[in-house]
Amino acid sequence: MQKIDITNTSVTINQLINQVKNGEEIVIISHGKPIARLSSISHILQPLASRHKLRATQPQALTSNLEIIQSLRQEARY
């Protein structure tokens, strides 16, 4: 992680972006305190098309939620 003081005008935003593209994280500081962080986006979030597609990707549970709750209650001796 590289730290750049905001008063350092010798570095342009284009140079910083190129460093971020190469996998570097940059923290911009002002008066010794961090004020911003530049880092690459690991992946772009996509909105969920449908709940049915999401449920299809999930593994099938061997026990129901009701059974799990009942067993937890029995263990805790409610």
pLDDT in tens, 32-60: 899 999 988 877 777 888 888 888 888 88
Instruction: Kindly tell me the sign of the dihedral angle through the C-alpha atoms of 2, 5, 6, 12.
Output: negative
Q: Is 60 exceeded by the pLDDT of residue 9?
A: no
Task: Give the separation between CA 40 and CA 50, rounded to whole angstroms.
Answer: 28
| Residue (of 49, 55, 2, 4) closest to 30 by Cα position | 4
Per-residue pLDDT band for 10 (boundaries 50, 70, 90) equals low
| Sign of the alpha-carbon torsion through 55, 57, 59, 60 | positive
pTM for the full model? Answer: 0.48
What span, in angstroms and rounded, lies between the C-alpha atoms of 66 and 63? 8
